[in-house]
Amino acid sequence: MSNRTKNNIKVIYYIFILKIISIFSPKAAALKAFQLFTTPYSGKPKREAPAEFAFATTLHLLFEGKMLYGWQWTPQPEVNNGKKVLIAHGFDSCSYRFAHYIQPFLQQGFTVIAFDAPAHGLSDGKTTNVLEYRNAIVAIIKKFGPFEVFMGHSLGGMALALAAEKLHENAKIILIAPAIETTTAIYAFTKFLKLSTNTKIAFINHIKSLSHHSIQYFSLSRAIKHIHAPVLWIHDELDKICPFKDVIPIMEKKLPNVEFYFTKGLGHSNVYKSKSVKNTIIAFSVNEQHFL
């Protein structure tokens, strides 16, 4: 049986189970749905560490009872510029995916730090959400910062932006195909699982009670208005995970500190692998005129 067939069977099973639970308790169905929403769908597969990780210094951070695993790479003394970059991967991903950025940053004199998010890679946990991820990044910044450059993909992009907003960080921020509107993600997820109206309402209310914020708070179009540091926003026009249509209202704001770089055809998961994207990121990071 193929993985695709297995996944289709799982989806059908969850749709059936959630429908049955919602008949008796929309709230219970919403809690189950939220657990699915915050669980990395690939689990935590064993991945072979890229070669770059063999010469990294391993870092650890105890965060809310979970051990988070990270890595640090330090440039040669003759090129060390005294600046640090923090890399935040996306949902259902891990730090290994960004191995090809290590050497380019080191060659430009940056110390590089990357952490696996809660419930991802080598870090503890089974579920995570953008609020927990944001708080984890805040803890990482306080212990291992300051950082002059932040780089985040997908959910990591939103979490970084929320952390920068909370701490009033003035470092450069690189957003690669960031999650933009939580409302968009919730709509797609609840539609995919065919949740009833009452279960959707309970789902949203659970997020409100958990975070003490409305779901509109978890929005880049809201947060970016409070970020005055230089921002490089990279997005593919055919991104199906974090749709490009959500970028357009932010472009129309014409924020003076935000630069956009668009690709077409790379999608959501390949955009950060592009050589041209990598070169643009490195150039943005080292260009002194971008620093306020």
Give me the CATH number covering residue 128: 3.40.50.1820
Rounded CA Rg of the chain: 19
Residue at 45 is within a domain: no
Contacts of 115 (CB under 8 A, 6+ apart): 59, 61, 68, 69, 70, 71, 86, 88, 95, 123, 136, 140
| Whether pLDDT at 5 is above 90 | no
What are the tens digits of pLDDT across the range 57-107? Answer: 999 999 999 999 999 999 999 999 999 999 999 999 999 999 999 999 999
Beta bridge partners of 172: 149
% the chain with pLDDT above 70? 95
- Rounded CA separation 108/256 (Å): 26
Residue type, 273: K
Residue at 43 is within a domain: no
Q: Which residue has the higher pLDDT, 12 or 269?
A: 269
Residue reference for tokens 């975070």: 211
- Rounded CA separation 117/139 (Å): 12
- Rounded CA separation 205/201 (Å): 6
Residue at 259 is within a domain: yes
Beta bridge partners of 153: 176
What are the tens digits of pLDDT across the range 183-228? Answer: 999 999 999 999 999 999 999 999 999 999 999 999 999 999 999 9
Q: Which residues of 13-35 are buried (b: 16+ CB within 10 A; e: fewer)?
A: ebeeebeebbeeebbebbebbbe
Residue at 151 is within a domain: yes
Torsion sign (Cα): 230, 110, 135, 156: positive
CA 107 centroid distance within chain? 25
Q: Which two tokens stand for residue 250?
A: 């932010």
Predicted local confidence at residue 203, as pLDDT? 96
Beta bridge partners of 72: 57, 113
Q: Which residues of 102-113 are buried (b: 16+ CB within 10 A; e: fewer)?
A: bebbbebbbbbb
What are the tens digits of pLDDT across the range 139-170? Answer: 999 999 999 999 999 999 999 999 999 888 88
CB atoms closer than 10 angstroms to residue 250? 19
% the chain with pLDDT above 90? 88
- Rounded CA separation 17/113 (Å): 41
Q: Provide the pLDDT confidence category of residue 1 given band limits of 50, 70 and 90.
A: low
Could you tell me if 125 and 7 lie in one domain?
A: no
Residue at 170 is within a domain: yes
Residue at 44 is within a domain: no
Predicted local confidence at residue 292, as pLDDT? 38
What are the tens digits of pLDDT across the range 248-278? Answer: 999 999 999 999 999 999 999 999 999 999 9
Q: Provide the pLDDT confidence category of residue 42 given band limits of 50, 70 and 90.
A: confident
Residue type, 161: A
- Provide mean pLDDT across the span 127-133: 97
Domain region containing 196: 1-37+187-211
Residue at 240 is within a domain: yes
- What is the value of pTM for the model shown? 0.93
* DSSP summary character for residue 116: P
Predicted local confidence at residue 98, as pLDDT? 98
Could you tell me if 285 and 200 lie in one domain?
A: no
What are the tens digits of pLDDT across the range 231-243? Answer: 999 999 999 999 9
